[in-house]
Amino acid sequence: MQAIVETVFDTVYLISVITIGILMILKSKGNNQYKLFGIMAIVLGVGDSFHLIPRALALCTTGLENFTTALGIGKFITSITMTIFYIILYYVWRLRYHVKGQKGVTAVVYVLSALRISLCLFPQNQWLSEVSPISWGIYRNIPFALLGLLIIVLFYKSAKENHDISFKWMWLTIVLSFGFYIPVVLFADAIPMVGMLMIPKTCAYVWTVVIGYKDMQRS
């Protein structure tokens, strides 16, 4: 049952976000904000596919333990693409609210992103092992969480100051995604059922993408 439910859910998710991303690029009509949002959605979907497709194959065939290498590589790639996702979302914020300057904020975004990616490259992460060290899961996610927090604050303040109804809840989608993701990092190895929180986390990211798509349709 888990194999069927997860596979169907992940298939619908990947097809949906990638399709929305392509549509946003094609229908952006020269609007760089929507074009960038579309690229962001594709990065999200393609990046997650490196982990979700091997996971679906594992669940539907011989089990997760026989796909350790593929799943590890997929998690590594997804860690990188999710960082890129937030860098792009930062530039969506700049375009949407016509932000100029803010070199300090931009520097912080890039420093946190570089630190996150650098930590992901350390062999101590043991990406290809069946059980990875929790400590390194925490280390590499500290700059990632700080990056997410920064993006949350930026969207919350700007949407409120500009009375932006369309992006009113953008900050909340990011809060929810991290809220569901952090327990998985900390407890999924010890309590496998905690991994199910990745489903609502994924739904939060879909909400993020849908917010941008609906706003484009209204424009």
pLDDT tens profile 170-217: 999 999 999 999 988 877 767 767 878 888 999 999 999 999 999 999
pLDDT-derived band at 154 (thresholds 50, 70, 90) equals: very high
Asked if pLDDT for residue 65 goes beyond 90, the answer is no
CA quadruple 45, 47, 50, 55: dihedral positive or negative? negative
Pick 151 or 187 by higher pLDDT: 151
Rounded average pLDDT over 94-106? 96
Average pLDDT, the chain: 93
State the pLDDT confidence band at 15, using cuts at 50, 70 and 90: very high
> Could you read off the pLDDT of 32-44 as tens digits, one per residue?
999 999 999 999 9
Give the three-state DSSP class for 97.
coil
- Using DSSP, how many helices (H) and how many strands (E) does the chain show? 7, 0
3-state secondary structure of 127: coil
The token pair that represents 129 in the structure block: 């092992």
> Alpha-carbon distance 71 to 52, whole Å?
8
**Reported pTM:** 0.94
For residue 55, the model assigns a pLDDT of 87
Residue 5: band (very low, low, confident or very high) from pLDDT cuts 50, 70, 90: confident
| Percentage of residues of the chain with pLDDT beyond 90 | 76
Q: Mean pLDDT across the stretch 156-176?
A: 97
DSSP string over 110-132: HHHHHHHHHHHHSGGG-TTSSS-
CA–CA gap between residue 196 and residue 178 (Å, rounded): 14
